[in-house]
Chain A
Amino acid sequence: METKILEQLVAITGSQYAKTTAAQKLAYSYDATPNFQAMPDVILSPGSTEDIQAIVKVCATHRIPIISRGSGTNLAAGTVPTAGGVVLLFNRMNQLLELDEGNLTITVQPGMITSEINALVEPKGLFYPPDPSSMNISTIGGNVSENSGGLRGLKYGVTRDYVKGLTIVLPNGELLKTGGKLAKDVAGYDLTSLYVGSEGTLGVITEITLSLIPAPASKQTLLAFYNHLEEAAEAVSSIIAAKIIPTTLEFMDKGTIETVEDFMNIGLPTDCEAMLLIEQDGDPLIVEKDMALMHQLCMEQGATSTQHAQTEVEAEQLRIGRRSALSALARKRPTTILEDATVPRSEIANMVKAIQQIADKYDLVICTFGHAGDGNLHPTCLTDARDQEEMLRVEAAFSEIFEHAIQLGGTITGEHGVGEMKSPYLEWKVGAAGMEVMRNIKKAVDPLQIMNPGKIFAKDTKKRVVVQHG
């Protein structure tokens, strides 16, 4: 970047809010995605929407890439500045703008940490359900841009279901306001939804209005342990078939249980093959009834034992355990590559089985955990990025896993987004026509291609590896 442009940009925020040292550039050259790294030219912390408009205008004039970055916890290289440019931080824009109890909405700046939203609304008896496992670190701007889901997704849906309105700085520096507090609003294209999950490629989100719901009156937590993966998967299917919608229905396999226990020491049995974490919330009588029935279904499908959380502290420990699963798996091998394959819920057992077979075929260690209740699995390969031969096998195995997921009617990402890492696979899911519409939207909104370039849209689509009998 030319010094003159750099000076212009730094002048907008003031030098105390600009990072330019070698160490700082390196510290913003990666996110939680393995094997991606690239240096930005400068890192800026704007203090307001106006600051961002000014920055975007300078960048548009000189065609400089802008990478919006929350906490860099995404798993798709969405914030790696692979084309250089400006990394925008929201650490100064993390304030509550309005809590509207009359309309059950909260309006916040994008840098607010996700879990803080609940800390703000809970005292009022309100509740913001989306809870990605990273919620103590991730920002709400990142959640909206990735359309993140979480442990409560089965009953309450994902971030999209709660985003009511957005303020966005467009790639030309102009301001767009979408949606609002209205419960009903069908005027024109649903631009709010277009921006949810757009991964910073269509503009910079600077204000977010979310809907809230009344906090559930009670909650119960149950663990069920199995000697066979299939039995756990069948239990999931039978719960869904019994027309119960639990808040949480999470799956962990043996390898995952072992590592989580290693980190947490909460007494999980490490000799079982699979575990379900089940929660229900709501009216105490209904919760009681649902839990009893789910317990019975779990036993019928062959659970070797079950365990009720006795206190909220104990329940929270179990949730933290599940949320730490991915990071805890990093204990086993140097590199941890997680995927986000999602299938219809009825296909969970088939998918889990297929993942095991594919792991065996390529001689790899793949542990699986995930949101079994909504079909969203996280097969996680424990490998070593320094071993090139093994990395080739990893890539082949994941291609096959995606392929299989799509064959079962699934998708390549349930909640983590496409970013740069999964861009070569997007066409598999949305087809040529889908890619064409998306490309045209991108071209229309961001003709100069300055908003997070290189993300979502790949240079090449991966060839499908398995094309036999579909």
Chain B
Amino acid sequence: MASVQTADIRQAFVTHVDDNRLMDCMRCGFCLPACPTYIHSDQDETQSPRGRIALMKAVRDGTIAWDGSIEEAFDLCLGCRACEPACPAGVQYGILIEETREAIQSVKKQSLKERIVRKGAFEHLFADQRKMKTAVNLVTFYQKSGLQKVVRKIGFLELFPPFMKEMEQILPEPAKRSRPSMDKAQVQVKVAFFAGCLMDTLFQETNRRTIELLEKFGCEVVIPKGQQCCGALHGHSGELDKARRNARSNLAAFDVVGVDFIVNNAGGCGAFLAEYDQLLEQDPVLATKAQQFTAKQIDISSLLVKLGAVAYLESLPATASTELVTYQDSCHLRNVNGVKEPPRDILKAVKDCTFVELPGADLCCGSAGIYNVLQPEMASRILASKMMEVKGVQASTIITTNPGCLLQMKVGIEREGLSATTRALHLVDFMYEKVR
């Protein structure tokens, strides 16, 4: 632990963490059963929303001396925000944890591992879409060139944290560009597509299909140039300034007035985009534009349902195939945007599959940005229990609506040795299979 002075951190909390928001918590505990880290720590109040809020308050009020145990309680929060819809008092936990992380970042000297991850991630990869592309091209080269095989053989990856090793196994095959195959319908609405940095690189093919689907259901799709990573990863890690920087670039890139919706296919990004109004609340120039931007946000499943995808899917002839399909919610899509039914409605409408609800689908899978890199132990525990449920429902396909969750499900499938019987897919890819 780098030495952080209690007085400094207290001052940072006073500066960054809003006292009134802390006072909103009346400590009733209604959020406890919703919180994955509380559940997976054998009900440790320290790892609960109520406990974390009490800790924030204690640090801010100076009733507790700063030490590693307090920091750990904040680090272990997934930021999944399941505590928010569960809270009758309307506590804005998401903002509180972001402010807390910002306060900590403002005084802390980070560990070497964290510094490297952060610098690489926040100042290069996720700050500049071109760099992201280069990085992914490297991965692609690595996979194609046969280097992957060699590296696996010599055990080079043993040097990395276990999670990196698994990531390496589950990285999608480099996309083979398929040709557009669907007819476009007559244009009903004009949408701008938020491509997302991970989605646009690792899951390029999914993005292409998203656009095709949109066009099939009557959208004119524009893809604004110069858009950047939404800033969620920065924001959730306490780098709010960097998140604002990205938000400003995106506001510049998007023509808010000229489109009906701004659509995304990544739950985590969608939630962050939908809160640009809060993020830029204080911005004298951009506050209004941010509000308009926020108001037009929609996720792909909600938009497709709006455009009549359910009736269309129901009208398709059934085939003999009987696939058992289940759905893992994207925490942010569900908890922040309140989108629960549309993805399920789509899956239920597909004739040649049977939809089973995954028990605990509303609980975070443990992916949460770079959480699984920084908190491998808790992430593993959460993922293991998730995979237990998957085995329980015997699903052959797990659908997700966020790239992080998709990768995490793939890791889970690998780990449990289920790859022969189970696959994980983005909702768009699954629907694309069925619609053609």
Contact = CB atoms under 8 A, between A and B. Distances in A.
Contact of A30 (B23, B32, B54, B67): B54
Contacts of B25: 330
A69 to B, nearest CB: 9
A328 B88 CA distance: 5
A327 B89 CA distance: 5
Given A24-B69, A92-B42, A330-B26, A71 B89 contact: no
A-side interface size class = 35 or more
A393 B89 CA distance: 24
B69 A23 contact: yes
Given A27-B55, A72-B45, A137-B33, A330 B88 contact: yes
Contacts of A113: 33
Given A24-B44, A334-B24, A137 B29 contact: yes
Contacts of B69: 21-24
A440 interface: no
A327 B55 CA distance: 20
Contacts of B359: none
Contacts of A73: 28-29
B64 A91 contact: no
Contact of A27 (B20, B51, B89): B51
A23 B65 CA distance: 9
Interface in A86-120: 89, 91-92, 113
Contacts of A89: 43
Given A72-B29, A334-B20, A23 B88 contact: no
A262 B20 CA distance: 19
A24 B87 CA distance: 22
Interface string B83-127: 000011110000000000000000000000000000000000000
Contacts of A91: 42-43
B37 interface: no
A89 B26 CA distance: 22
A469 to B, nearest CB: 37
A331 interface: yes
Interface string A4-36: 000000000000000101111011111111100
A23 B72 contact: yes
B40 interface: no
B384 interface: no
Main secondary structure of the interface of A (DSSP, over half): loop
A32 B64 contact: no
Nearest to B25: A330
B45 A27 contact: yes
B30 interface: yes
A32 B28 contact: yes
B250 interface: no
A134 B28 contact: yes
Contacts of B189: none
A324 B90 contact: no
B329 to A, nearest CB: 20
A362 interface: no
Interface in A29-49: 29-34, 37, 45
Given A27-B51, A330-B26, A19 B33 contact: no
A88 to B, nearest CB: 13
B372 interface: no
B378 to A, nearest CB: 15
A237 interface: no
B25 to A, nearest CB: 8
A193 interface: no
Nearest to B66: A22
Given A26-B58, A45-B42, A263 B26 contact: no
A407 interface: no
A24 B46 contact: yes
Given A28-B45, A263-B88, A23 B27 contact: no
A192 interface: no
Nearest to A36: B27
Given A30-B54, A263-B88, A335-B23, A23 B46 contact: yes
B70 interface: yes
Interface in A299-314: none
Contacts of A24: 44-46, 69
B73 interface: yes
Nearest to A260: B88
A344 B65 CA distance: 50
Contacts of A34: 26-27
B29 A27 contact: no
A249 B73 CA distance: 42
A172 to B, nearest CB: 29
B77 to A, nearest CB: 12
B227 interface: no
B32 A22 contact: no
Contact of A137 (B30, B67, B87): B30
B55 A23 contact: yes
B206 interface: no
Contacts of B43: 89, 91
Interface in B1-33: 20, 23-30, 32-33
16 contacts: A19-B44, A22-B69, A24-B44, A26-B54, A27-B45, A27-B51, A27-B73, A28-B45, A31-B27, A71-B29, A134-B28, A327-B30, A330-B24, A330-B25, A330-B88, A331-B89
| Across the A-B interface, the 3 shortest Cβ-Cβ residue pairs | A21-B69, A327-B88, A330-B89
Given A24-B45, A336-B26, 4 more contacts: A24-B69, A32-B28, A134-B28, A327-B88
